[in-house]
Amino acid sequence: MTNYDQVLVALRRVIRATDLHSKRLSKHAGLTGPQLLIMRTIRDLGEVTIGTIADKVSLSQATVTTILDRLEHRKLVYRVRSTQDKRKVHAHLTEEGAEILARAPNPLQEDFIKKYQSLHEWEQTMILASLQRVANMMDADNIDASPVLHVGPVLREDGWKADSKS
């Protein structure tokens, strides 16, 4: 197998691991990776604003709001307008949300971060530089991405699915 074939196989394994973890999370907890991260952030920070959640999980406020809408519809979170500043809305876990969160597996990136941080600094730097170079070689420099590992539909800049005809 050529070196480039080995690189492509390694990339495919990373994508597949992310996909399998996402399916396991969905099967065991009924959540997506971003939903899990948002719920964990709410649990960890307590009464928290949408903007703070967005900053903590590296997603836009609009994306966090959409995810909170889905979680609220499932009665896993609820939102309350601040009594001190009516412009602010605070998110809270429901009892059912806390129970689901307690049973959910760790996010994939959490285990990755522990293993990555255990490497020597030179190894971390080498991996970072290599992956940035691979992203560049795949013309992915300008693709907006957060550190949330999640497999889902690829969206165009306007928010439509990449394979959408409209």
Distance in angstroms (rounded) separating the CA atoms of residues 17 and 122: 25
**Distance set, CA 150 to CA 19, 89, 129 (Å):** 7, 26, 22
Strand pairing class (89-93; 77-81) = antiparallel
Residue 33 inside a domain? The answer is yes
Neighbours of 143 (CB within 10 A): 10
Residue 102 inside a domain? The answer is yes
Question: 9: domain CATH number?
Answer: 1.10.10.10
Structure confidence at residue 47 as a pLDDT band (50, 70, 90): confident
pLDDT tens across 67-96, in order? Answer: 999 999 999 999 998 888 888 889 999 999
Full domain range(s) for residue 50: 3-137
Residue 32 inside a domain? The answer is yes
Structure confidence at residue 18 as a pLDDT band (50, 70, 90): confident
pTM over 0.75? The answer is no
Residue 147 inside a domain? The answer is no
**Structural domain total, the chain:** 1
